[in-house]
Chains A and B, each alone.
Chain A
Amino acid sequence: MKASRVEIQTLRLLKDINANHYEAAREAARQGRPVGYVSVFAPAELLLAMDIVSVYPENHAVFVQARKMTTEVVSPLERLGYQPGLCSYARCDMGSTFTGKSPVGGLPKPDFFLTTNAQCSTLTKWFERMSEHFGVPLFLIDVPFTGGKPDDQHCKVFVRSQIAELIGFLEEITGKSLDPENLSRVVEISNQTTRLWKEIIESAMHVPSPISVFDQFISMAPIVAQRGTMVALEFYQTLKAEIDDRVTRGIGVVDNEKYRLYWDSLPLWHELKWLSDLLVSFKACLVSTIYTLPWADFWLDPKDPVSSWVEQYVHYFDWHLDRRVELVVQLKEKYRLNGFIFHNDRSCKMFSTAIPEIRRIVQEKTGVAAYILEGDHGDPRFYSREQIEKGLTYYFEILRARG
């Protein structure tokens, strides 16, 4: 019997939620609220509590890619001297900003940039060029990449003092001091949203899985770009209710789900539908991924969010090799996985540098074959569908042969 997909209805709400987000940002800027261009692991709650409008260039880049505007905006950028090997989020966002070709109806001008290199160093370089372009300051939360080594007390001291400096920096920009009550209120909403997201992605433990990693990729936008707001909270409440209902009724994403797979690294944003259909044809469902996990672990101590941030920056976002291996091995049990796909994303060195090694160790530890898919998260010039299809066909043959 041919397998098919059963769509999640709540996802239809996203079109408006995302569009409204950018419209609201433009409107808020018109009313004179300060605008920050920030990376996804910036302390969103702090910004929101200080009444700052946050724009997420990474999220913006996803829209450029999803609207298939990559080539159009990236070519002029390359003429300025940017090389095609750079992160395609950076290239798409800068290309869109520099050419003024916007997938979201334009962005309000920034008053500052904020990023942390706990995630990657690419963001620093990307934001350096962008902040020069706009002539506004860039604040970097510099996080040493400790790999969880025990002798990293000084890293925590360093990060803590930078968060204090950041608060001062933001107070200067807004002309107001941080109101701790405001922060607690936002943290409360944010924590509830984080909890919901955790439950939603963990519902994929059910067999058949009511939600796929593709659904997670699509539905993560609000928790990335609007964490701490009621909009995001309400969206995930609705989504959770539908997922719960699917669990009760035994509805899976993939009919006759046979393979439950893990996906490592970024999505192929251009190919969500194509790849998902391809996997469905193998009766395979992607049920778990590292990429959406951080937002399930963003819980902040309401009494002391600063300490939570310090801990997260120094110990959580640094996805070092041992932790990634350990995670994948745990996920295998938790989600009853019977296969792994590692996306060797040529334009994200942060994720990809260790992938061949991680795949080798995961195979050794689990005895399950893992597949390396050569791709790019946002530039379709650098992979071929044919190659991917051939590779995956071969991979499923191996899985089938091994039973």
Chain B
Amino acid sequence: MDFQQILAELVATQTDPHTRARQWKSANQGTVIAHLLPDVPEEIIHASGALPLAVTGVDRGTSLAESHIPSFICSLLRNPLEMALRRELDFIDGMVIPYVCDSTRAFSQVWEANFPDLFNHTLWLPKKVSGDSAKQFLFSEFMRLKKRLEVFLGREITDQSLRHAIGVYNQNRRLLRRLFALRKKGRIPLPYADYLSVVKASMTMPREDHNTLLARLLEGLKEECRPCEKEESVRVFLLGSLGEPHSVLTLFDELGMDVVDDHFYDGTRCFLQDVDEAVDPMEGLVSRQLSKAPLSGFHYQDDRWRQYLLDRVRDGQIEGVVYFPLMYCDPMEFDYPLIKGLLGEMGIPVLFLETDFHSGSLGQVRTRLEAFAEMLREKKDESLPC
């Protein structure tokens, strides 16, 4: 398979996200533990021998789900429910739902009421990310997931298997960081929409498989490596929960915006930090969780957002930010004035672009993005020495 084929295969998981998991299940008589995003420690599931599978959704309406939850709940929750109600998730054995916001906390119970026969687990993520009490609590909470999985699967999750899983995932993160860095430096002609699909594919297939494919993809891309001509384009950063709908992502390239970085549940946030392999595996997972890039669902008592944004902007030579919350995402909406203010101090313009998984007509989105790109280009021209 040449690298174009590998790329095509990885990108295809965008529209067909579950075939690989189904195949794995029937080939291995295995257990598939699905989870919603963000921040479920897949390593623990992997170490149990089950296949972790992140469920997001596909671009379509959610009429069935809306008879169980209101239509004003974000599509990160509406979409998986719709899929499950349409029996498209009939192959999963369990579902882990992280508690991040008011919607997720109530949603987990709606889920359990509808699918009582699954291994259902709500991950009680603390909202505080610093302090000993939060750290200790998170440790016990990860242990609770481990214990429940052990009981459900009837086998022990050993330190050895946890370490092995962490190794596989760190390897994956290293490869993803390489891909990310190559793109950021403008060395490979990989459109952002395709790039994100490659990243997301990691969550829908065994990581080992993704590692193999990704390594070969990187090999192939190396040959393509050359400085890309992108003088006309402006460098943007997408800050959101999910990079959906996918059809919007393709607009950026078309409109001369080079997405060099993102902050998505299933984007860079997943691979920027590794788990420290030198410490106790569970402690390593806890530390990683608490040191991740900030997220609106959590509460920071320090200036982590400011630091994070400064780093990302400097690192990616960012010229503009598109604030990209899913519709009805309260935490991100509450953070918008804060983040707009912080970016304002850095002289970075922001566009607020609320999206839904279901794209509908993109006319208006295109117009707004076009205007934003234009503005960024003008700003850039003004700053050039004549």
Contact = CB atoms under 8 A, between A and B. Distances in A.
B371 to A, nearest CB: 18
Interface string A75-95: 000001111011100100000
Interface in B271-310: 296-297, 299, 301
Interface string B42-55: 00000000000000
A145 B354 CA distance: 28
A356 B122 contact: no
A145 B297 contact: no
A144 B126 contact: yes
Contacts of A87: 330
Contacts of B354: 83
B385 interface: no
Interface string B65-84: 01111101100000000000
Given A144-B99, A353-B106, A354-B69, A80 B126 contact: no
Among B112, B301, B330, max chain A CB count under 10 A is at B330
Interface stretch (B131-139, B172-180, B196-204): B131-139
Interface stretch (B162-170, B182-190, B257-265, B331-339): B331-339
A144 B110 contact: no
Contacts of B140: 154, 157
A354 B110 contact: yes
A87 B299 CA distance: 18
Given A85-B333, A157-B137, A356-B68, A124 B338 contact: no
A355 B68 CA distance: 8
Interface in A62-79: none
Contact of A86 (B105, B301, B330): B330
A357 B69 contact: yes
A322 B352 CA distance: 38
A257 interface: no
Nearest to B127: A142
Contact of B103 (A155, A162, A321, A349): A349
B72 A346 contact: yes
Contacts of B124: 144-146, 152, 155
A129 B337 contact: yes
Nearest to B352: A81
A161 interface: yes
A129 B334 contact: yes
Contact of B109 (A81, A155, A157, A322): A322
Given A82-B337, A125-B331, A353-B107, A142 B299 contact: yes
Given A124-B299, A158-B133, A142 B330 contact: no
Contacts of B103: 349, 353
A121 B354 CA distance: 21
A152 B144 CA distance: 9
Interface string A107-131: 0000000000100111011101100
Among B124, B141, B328, B335, max chain A CB count under 10 A is at B124
Interface string B141-153: 1001001100000
B126 A142 contact: yes
Interface residues of B, number: 52
Size range of the chain A interface in the assembly: 35 or more
A147 interface: yes
Given A142-B128, A350-B102, A125 B334 contact: yes
B237 to A, nearest CB: 18
A132 B72 CA distance: 28
Contacts of B335: 125
Interface in A18-40: none
A122 B337 contact: no
A145 B99 contact: yes
A124 B112 CA distance: 26
Interface string A158-183: 10011001000000000000000000
A37 B253 CA distance: 47
B133 A162 contact: yes
Nearest to A153: B140
A155 B137 contact: yes
B68 A121 contact: no
A352 interface: yes
B384 interface: no
A151 interface: yes
B101 interface: yes
A369 interface: no
Contacts of A154: 136-137, 140-141, 144
B144 A80 contact: no
A158 B330 contact: no
B366 interface: no
A320 interface: yes
A354 B352 contact: no
Contact of B70 (A83, A121, A145, A346): A346
Among A157, A162, A349, A354, max chain B CB count under 10 A is at A349
Contact of A349 (B102, B136, B340): B102
Contacts of B336: 81-83
A162 B127 CA distance: 13
A344 interface: yes
Given A128-B338, A346-B72, A354-B69, 5 more contacts: A121-B102, A121-B127, A129-B338, A158-B136, A356-B67
- Nearest 4 A/B pairs, CB to CB: A144-B124, A125-B334, A353-B106, A154-B140
21 contacts: A81-B336, A81-B340, A83-B354, A117-B127, A121-B127, A121-B297, A125-B296, A128-B299, A140-B128, A142-B128, A155-B124, A346-B70, A346-B72, A349-B73, A349-B328, A349-B330, A352-B72, A355-B70, A357-B69, A357-B114, A360-B68
Interface of A: 80-83, 85-87, 90, 117, 120-122, 124-126, 128-129, 132, 138, 140, 142, 144-147, 151-152, 154-155, 157-158, 161-162, 165, 320-322, 344, 346, 349-350, 352-357, 360-361
